[in-house]
Structure 1
Amino acid sequence: MRYRRFGKTEMLLSVFSLGTMRYLESEENAVSTIFKAIELGINHIETAKGYGKSEQFVGAAFRAGLEKQRDRLYVTTKIVPTPDADTMRQQIEDSLQKMNLDYIDNFDLHGINTWEHLEMLKNPQGCMKAVQEAVDQKLIRHVGFSTHAPLEVILAVIQTDLFTSVNLHYYYFNQRNEPAVQLAHEKDMGVFIISPSDKGGMIYKPSEKLKGLCYPFTPIYLNDRFLLSDPRVHTLSLGAAHPQEFVDHQEAWDNDTPLSELENEIFACMHRHYIEGLRSDRCSQCYACLPCPEEINIPEVLRLRNLAVAHDMVEFGKYRYAMFGNAGHWFPGEKGDRCTDCGDCLPRCPEKLDIPKLLRDTHDRLYEGEGKRLWD
């Protein structure tokens, strides 16, 4: 296991962190998974108040003997922003009690996803007052934020200089947030990547086409290598739900060197296949088509189409497409079938795409019903 300095926090974190969102079965399974992660060299556990019984299970692990290793472990928990300080103060106390901890190494404001959330941070009597009090009382050591926001919002939150780290989406198959990674790097912030194997393409269940393009490596390995070869990235979430789920990442966590010649050749081949497979229907993700009068998230809808057509990532597309209209600010926008052919987006598209046609095609390819976030 490699370790990296988590920006100005000075915490030396393992390049994989144990994300605990998927503890669905039992306390016994959760505790055994946590202990397996520690055995493998992972020293950072990431949870959230909103992840079901996750904080409670982390507390069970500490009561089961993990407290003996507390001085060499780091814990992050996340709480959504609140409009007042009292609510945040109580929630911080609740999280500490559930996790059986005296302090939180890294506390994230969870889901700074909108301009309204950013305004909440500026309220002198709001949640940040309670967070700062907790820092002064040494209940919290470092303060970061997690985000599913549009890039412009992420950049604005980073520019506030309120935070020492950021937890965001950035993957080989979705590089939209690269400017945020760069800005965080310039400000010496810790950079934590959310769910690279799941939100990064559901690459633990790759299509045969994608497996062939990645050969002799696996899609999981190559995505891990894409991220860990970048020194601006510090740690990746590994959301193991069972002790045996770590094995697919072991080859990558001991290899954070620059990409090899073969790895670069494979990425170049994948990019050529992507361009050639989409031809004149490729959405370049410029976002010029927004805003849409029907609130369709046109670039994200068409990104899912891009991946389904070019790399046969249909199951991932279905999984994410089902979220549109059902996940609020965590995954904003409506499905493609809401298009009314108003044509508002057409003159703004530099590729001159027939966007209404592509939206309908995406819906036909990917719609299988409605979905929701795991803990909604």
Structure 2
Amino acid sequence: MKKQRSIIMAGMLDVVLISSHLLYPLIFFASASVDPDNTYFSAAADIVIRHENQKCPKRRFSTFDLSNVSCDNGSIVAVATDFLAKFCPDLLEILARNDDRDRLIKIGRTVNSSLRYCEEVSSRETEGVSPPRSNGTEGEEIGNEVEADGALRRLVKECQMLAKILTKPTKVPTTRFGRTEIDMPIVNVGCMRFQQSWNRGGGVPVKSADQLAKDCQSNVVDILKHAINCGVTHIETAQMYGCSELQIGLALKQLFDEGFCRRDDLIIQTKGAVGSGTTKTSYKSSILEQLHGLGLEYVDLFAVHGLNTQDTYDLLFEQGEGNNLIEALQELRAEGRVKNVGFSTHGPAHVIKKAIETDSFDYVNLHYHFMGGGYTSAGDGDHTFEGNQENVRLARERDMGLFIISPFDKGGRLYAPSHLLRHLTLPQMEPLEYGCMWLWHHHDHAGFGRVHTIGVGAARPSDLDQAVIAAISSETQESKQSFGVVLKRIEERKRQILGEKWTKNWHLGLPNYSQCVFGGFQIGNIVWLFNCVQVYGVLDFAKERYATLLLNASNWDMKKTWKENVFSSPAFAWMPGTCYDENHDYSEELKDVPEENKLRVLEAMKFVHQWCSPENHRSNFEEKKQEDIDVPLEWQQAYDMRPNVAWPERS
């Protein structure tokens, strides 16, 4: 059996093109050889072997490249179908009845990834190469098959919970959203992944209902229905999300007309940006147009979208009484059109702190995740806090609602984790659940800053599943204990890989673009990416983030001032900074960095530039011999929970 498994598992992520009649076969396992100690592992391996041995055409696919995500997933679906037939037939029946291919693909990819990594590690161990081990719940080392079995056991448990949720939905927990007094679900549905178009660049913008594809709008309705059924009643969108507001408005009208829910059942948030030409009158008018597009008399939450720079802050607060844009929001709140005012930000930590300290906002949407202090603000901070840690503490001290943006994407691409990250969190939980638990229990492990809610950017109903399941079980003793085990394991790995001092002090004195007048270098952010790759193996995530810095650097004009460069591109304030320049002397930029850190900072920047520059981009599954692939196995992508290309990326 083990020899046969070895033959097929090196190509575990091959996609076999099989006919659609195999979508929901009920397979019986009379001949399955099951190891009583590793029941799930052995049974899953037998299932995969059966399908890999079919004589069908094969093709490779890379989940790092979105254009290939939509490739045929026939064998993945077949594996998931057989797996559910044995371990969770109730869910299989529900998915078959609803022709739900998305969830089958996700289940199949999870099964495949667990087995593939186990086999790859086993084959390397026979050659004397061993990756880092995860620890069991009692601290002992565990074998590869035991870890894979634990992952599959957990998958079965999630499938059983999902079957119950889809049959009789269970509501996620809620919490007081700071001084807004809103009873806020700890998960919300972010609405920037399901709209038909971004309405940017070329093409005809989508401005009316008759331009919408029926399938796209039906998907929006299905997402909202699934969310509301699960108690995820906070719906968050923005004017900048293309035709998102239009589609939400139409979907809400349908739900209200059908009696599916009432307006009072929902918490609606939208956001609107300001610019150099925005006046108090025009901003107020624009917000009222947004409400009209949503078909609503009021919104529960309205956020200034992109309070990212000092210039935006000045537009809100420093134009003089009668002209400050914040007054438009105060007037709308007094009129009952906006119930609570907040701000959303991708900005540097000091700008965010300044906005919080005005006491003009009831809540804040910011980036803050277990991999670091918060995406674009990572690397900012003083001797006590790094990134947005100080802002989390400060916001909670002022009783503001705390909404965490993009924990699964900007927080590490947790829907497509590396093998190493998954190895670190298993068998207790998948990386996405760990990311949730780290935030929901932040006040327990960090000692400050209760996080109220986290955003799930849903492109399809199934994108809500893992977060909803995690939320429902988040306060159970089992989940808390599992989280504690993984937290301890990851903290220990940080100390082992980075060292105690570097783990605590790596950010000291590091500037980001707002302090680098000469070239706008995002130094703190780059060093943060180095830490992320070293500790978690998230190379694809680092490449994705670094690509923006490379683009910004290519557009940077040394003949222009810092401010002219920063504001020459509207996107710069959202994804700021430039990449490492190997020809630049960084002595001036690193003058405040402790002497013992300077060499390592430079080495970290060089490392990120080497691995994340375009010439180093590689598909995880290129047609080449395994020994020729220079990306370590642990850094390669384990799976991708995007079963198809999201609507806004299709145009």
**What TM-score does the superposition give when structure 2 sets the normalisation length?**
0.54
Supply the AA of the counterpart residue of 1:18.
V
Structure 1 residue 17 and structure 2 residue 188: aligned?
yes
Supply the AA of the counterpart residue of 2:358.
T
Whole-angstrom CA distance in 2 between matches of 1:246 and 1:349 = 42
Structure 2 residues not aligned, in runs of 5+: 1-171, 197-215, 374-386, 444-449, 553-570, 616-647
Structure 1 residues not aligned, in runs of 5+: none
- 1:279: Cα distance to partner? 5.1
Whole-angstrom CA distance in 1 between matches of 2:541 and 2:494 = 16
Q: Is the 8 Å Cα contact of residues 195 and 247 (structure 2) preserved in structure 1?
A: no
Query: Which stretch of structure 1 is more off in the superposition, 143-152 or 291-300?
Result: 291-300
**Counterpart residue number, 2:507:** 286
Match of 2:406 among 155, 173, 195: 195
Whole-angstrom CA distance in 2 between matches of 1:357 and 1:287 = 16
- 1:207: Cα distance to partner? 0.7
**Counterpart residue number, 1:361:** 607
Supply the AA of the counterpart residue of 1:308.
V
How many residue pairs align between the two structures? Answer: 371
Structure 1 residues 297 and 260: alpha-carbon distance in aligned structure 2, compared to 1, 3 A threshold: same
**Counterpart residue number, 2:349:** 151
Whole-angstrom CA distance in 1 between matches of 2:328 and 2:244 = 23
Q: Is the 8 Å Cα contact of residues 299 and 337 (structure 2) preserved in structure 1?
A: yes
Supply the AA of the counterpart residue of 2:182.
M
Structure 1 residue 352 and structure 2 residue 597: aligned?
yes
Supply the AA of the counterpart residue of 2:494.
Y
Whole-angstrom CA distance in 1 between matches of 2:455 and 2:500 = 35
Query: Which stretch of structure 1 is more off in the superposition, 67-76 or 199-208?
Result: 67-76
Whole-angstrom CA distance in 1 between matches of 2:522 and 2:354 = 21
Q: Is the 8 Å Cα contact of residues 295 and 333 (structure 1) preserved in structure 2?
A: yes
- 1:144: Cα distance to partner? 0.6
- Secondary structure of the residue aligned to 2:282 is helix
Whole-angstrom CA distance in 2 between matches of 1:246 and 1:161 = 33
- 1:338: Cα distance to partner? 6.2
**Counterpart residue number, 1:2:** 173
- Secondary structure of the residue aligned to 2:339 is strand
Whole-angstrom CA distance in 2 between matches of 1:92 and 1:186 = 29
Structure 1 residues 344 and 62: alpha-carbon distance in aligned structure 2, compared to 1, 3 A threshold: same
Match of 1:212 among 398, 405, 423: 423
- 1:154: Cα distance to partner? 1.1
**Counterpart residue number, 2:300:** 105
Whole-angstrom CA distance in 2 between matches of 1:90 and 1:256 = 42
Match of 2:245 among 55, 61, 70: 55
Structure 1 residues 230 and 359: alpha-carbon distance in aligned structure 2, compared to 1, 3 A threshold: closer
**Counterpart residue number, 2:272:** 79
Whole-angstrom CA distance in 2 between matches of 1:280 and 1:255 = 33
Match of 1:260 among 480, 504, 527: 480
Q: Is the 8 Å Cα contact of residues 506 and 597 (structure 2) preserved in structure 1?
A: no
Aligned pairs (5 A) from 1:284-363: 284-290=505-511, 291-292=515-516, 293-324=518-549, 325-326=551-552, 327-337=571-581, 340-350=584-594, 351-354=596-599, 355-363=601-609
- 1:60: Cα distance to partner? 1.1
Match of 1:274 among 452, 473, 494: 494
**Counterpart residue number, 2:263:** 70
**What TM-score does the superposition give when structure 1 sets the normalisation length?**
0.92
Q: Give the % identical residues.
A: 31
Query: Which stretch of structure 1 is more off in the superposition, 296-305 or 83-92?
Result: 83-92
Whole-angstrom CA distance in 2 between matches of 1:281 and 1:53 = 48
Whole-angstrom CA distance in 2 between matches of 1:4 and 1:280 = 35
- 1:196: Cα distance to partner? 0.5
- 1:27: Cα distance to partner? 2.1
Structure 1 residue 221 and structure 2 residue 433: aligned?
yes
- 1:302: Cα distance to partner? 1.1
Supply the AA of the counterpart residue of 2:436.
D
**Counterpart residue number, 2:372:** 174
Please, what is the CA RMSD of the aligned residues? 2.2
- Secondary structure of the residue aligned to 1:201 is coil
What does the per-residue CA deviation read over 1:222-246, in whole Å, with 9 as the maximum and x for residues that have no partner? 1100111135111100111101111
Q: Is the 8 Å Cα contact of residues 187 and 468 (structure 2) preserved in structure 1?
A: no
Q: Is the 8 Å Cα contact of residues 282 and 306 (structure 1) preserved in structure 2?
A: no
Whole-angstrom CA distance in 1 between matches of 2:327 and 2:583 = 43
Structure 1 residues 13 and 274: alpha-carbon distance in aligned structure 2, compared to 1, 3 A threshold: same
Query: Which stretch of structure 1 is more off in the superposition, 325-334 or 273-282?
Result: 273-282
- 1:319: Cα distance to partner? 0.9
Supply the AA of the counterpart residue of 2:273.
V
What does the per-residue CA deviation read over 1:83-141, in whole Å, with 9 as the maximum and x for residues that have no partner? 31122122111111111101011000111111111111113313222212211221111
Structure 1 residues 14 and 203: alpha-carbon distance in aligned structure 2, compared to 1, 3 A threshold: same
Structure 1 residue 164 and structure 2 residue 164: aligned?
no
Structure 1 residue 142 and structure 2 residue 340: aligned?
yes
Structure 1 residue 117 and structure 2 residue 312: aligned?
yes
Q: Is the 8 Å Cα contact of residues 474 and 480 (structure 2) preserved in structure 1?
A: no
- 1:40: Cα distance to partner? 1.3
